[in-house]
Amino acid sequence: MNHERLFSGPFIAFSIAATAALSAPACASKPGEFPTQGELSDLAAQVAPTGMFGKSAVDVSAWELKGPLADTIEATAHDGSSPWDKLLKDLAASRTGLLFMSESAHCLARETAAFLVEKKALPPEPLQGFMAARCGAPSRSFAIQVLSGEVAKETTDDKLAADWHPKVGEMIRATAGHGSQAAGVAFVRGETRAAVVVVAQDRRVLLEKTSLFPDTENHIVLKGELLAPAAQIRGIANQGRFGFADCTINQGVKLPSFELICAVKPEDESARITVAAYPPGRILGATVADMLVFPAGATTTRFEPPAQATGGALDGAGLAEALNGVRKEAGLALVEHDAAQAGVVGKLSPFYFAAALGLMDATIADKVVLGVRAGWEVNGLVQEGDFASIVAPGAKTAAEVIDTAIAAPATRSALLDPEIRRIAIGTVIEPASNTAAALFGTYVLADPSKHEKEAAAVIARITRLRAAKKLPAPEIIGEVAGHAARVAQQIDAGEATPDEALNDLMKQSVQTLSSGVQGFALSGSSTAQLSIPDALLSRPTLRLAIAVGHYKVKNEPWTKLAVLLVLPAEGSRQTAHGPATRFF
């Protein structure tokens, strides 16, 4: 009787939106938030880690799950009576409250063992994710250990259990003997081969019973409680081939409890939803739920990987070209691969993946993400930077990596963002594990052609806030529009600071209007994050002039949005300008 022991670490699909690679929702950067170029250079100069992605899995074109499978996600206990179940029960009894024998984990172990017996290898990551989803597991990230081998027909199950008992007990303790986990174990035997598989998932969330089918409003509603401290939560759902949408957070439910309403498209046969929770002070979130739901109303037991495009070198330029092929098909503007910034991202990539996999200090991943988002070397004025990452086992071309990336909601949201114009990509290729991994930096550039649109967005926001107070919309002072456009150009060119431009606009407005004026300079990373002063929201009527520009702050990587607002001083007929106020 021959047997071999295979081990695979957590199968983590790196991506926002998410997994350990899902960053927090975009917010205004703070001075000193980003690592300096020198700090990034010091990190990149260290010896880069290698051999991170474990044993290679076999490719498979299609696979039929054995069942029984789930139509809901819920914490159901497994009460098995096999010798292997008894081993796990004994450990669970010694770890009461920490180790939960889960029906979904048992299902996942059983389906994996069945594949292993037939194929003599572990299933590929997409099939693992499908197995987890159809077993009702809340996440596709899990640890797994396997004992398998050739078994003579005359060897009884009892004899095999006695022979493998010590090794399986060791596997169970190694996989499910620490932290708060849901675990399962399963034994499958074929004609000449047998396998025992142990599966464990960190228990990061307690979900209420959740159907894999949407409600009548095409929503998947996720209710539950986080099992670790978190300051934020975020969910993203795929919609159609290229679309995505953030799940709506019920603000009336306070963490650690939560309620997310995720909109799906009723015509989609399946849709993936990822939820991440963000510990206090961390940029990266841990994936607490990663599931497949079935908006069209029918589940399936058959895994058939989507036909993937082929072609393209497994390097930054090849991946950028493959991504542009997808963006073109989706009707999005193409992005330019920034060679200088890609050099930085490429050097940082191994450290990011090692930290995300727990092989280095986790905060190193945060530093790399912030460094990538900063975009210090990007050719152009960066208005905002984001990141994404993916591990693609078995991918041989750039197109396959990109297809894998956009299957994950968080990665899709970063790579298919309509506003990005620059991208920088670093890769880690491991031939031994047949794995390609990529780290992406994506960048929105300051664009003067957007100023009119940005000004309209500010006015629309002021209008909504005033309407809530039953006050009329603001009226634009057309006579000052020329002066506003001129000072906006000065800000963009770096010829004037926002304060200087505001003072200039106020002086010109006094002369044009023959009236005293009051001015405000608002600053933020986007129009949605501007702090609107109450003076603009409380006047019975409001007339104003607006100028929008972008400016660079010393030692900060991103430009700031400067919005200048000038309005006649209330009750004033004097020819002097009134106070100027800055709001950040």
pLDDT in tens, 321-354: 999 999 999 999 999 999 999 999 999 999 999 9
565-575 pLDDT, tens digit per residue, is 999 987 544 33
The pLDDT value recorded for residue 25 is: 52
490-545 pLDDT, tens digit per residue, is 999 889 999 999 999 999 999 998 888 999 999 887 888 888 998 899 999 999 99
pTM above the 0.95 mark? no
352-374 pLDDT, tens digit per residue, is 999 988 889 888 999 999 999 99
Find the mean pLDDT for residues 393-407.
91
Q: Tell me the pLDDT of the chain averaged across its residues.
A: 88
* Residue 185 contacts residue 196 (beta carbons within 8 Å): yes
Q: What is the largest CA-CA distance in the chain?
A: 105
Query: Residue 2 — pLDDT band, cuts 50, 70, 90?
Result: very low
* Residue 382 contacts residue 375 (beta carbons within 8 Å): yes
Q: Which carries the bigger pLDDT value, residue 52 or residue 501?
A: 501
Residue 89 clears pLDDT 80, i.e. is over it? yes
Residue 31 clears pLDDT 70, i.e. is over it? no
Q: CATH 2.60.40.10 in the chain: give the residue spans.
A: 206-303
The pLDDT value recorded for residue 178 is: 87
Q: CATH 3.40.33.10 in the chain: give the residue spans.
A: 316-445
Query: Residue 56 — pLDDT band, cuts 50, 70, 90?
Result: low
Q: Domain 206-303 falls in which CATH fold?
A: Immunoglobulin-like (2.60.40)
- Report CA-CA distances (Å) from 381 to 130, 377, 550: 42, 10, 9
> b/e string for 437-474 if b means 16 or more Cβ within 10 A?
bbbbbbbbbbbeebbeebbebbbeebeeebeeeebeeb
The pLDDT value recorded for residue 4 is: 34
Q: Which carries the bigger pLDDT value, residue 22 or residue 124?
A: 124
Residue 106 clears pLDDT 60, i.e. is over it? yes
Nearest of 444, 474, 441, 479 to residue 460 by alpha carbon: 474
The pLDDT value recorded for residue 571 is: 57
405-416 pLDDT, tens digit per residue, is 999 999 999 999
Q: Class for domain 449-583, per CATH?
A: alpha beta
Q: Class for domain 316-445, per CATH?
A: alpha beta
- What DSSP string describes 469-531? TT-PPPEE-GGGHHHHHHHHHHHHTTSS-HHHHHHHHHHHHHHHHTS-EEEEEEEESSGGG--
* SS3 of residue 553 by DSSP: coil
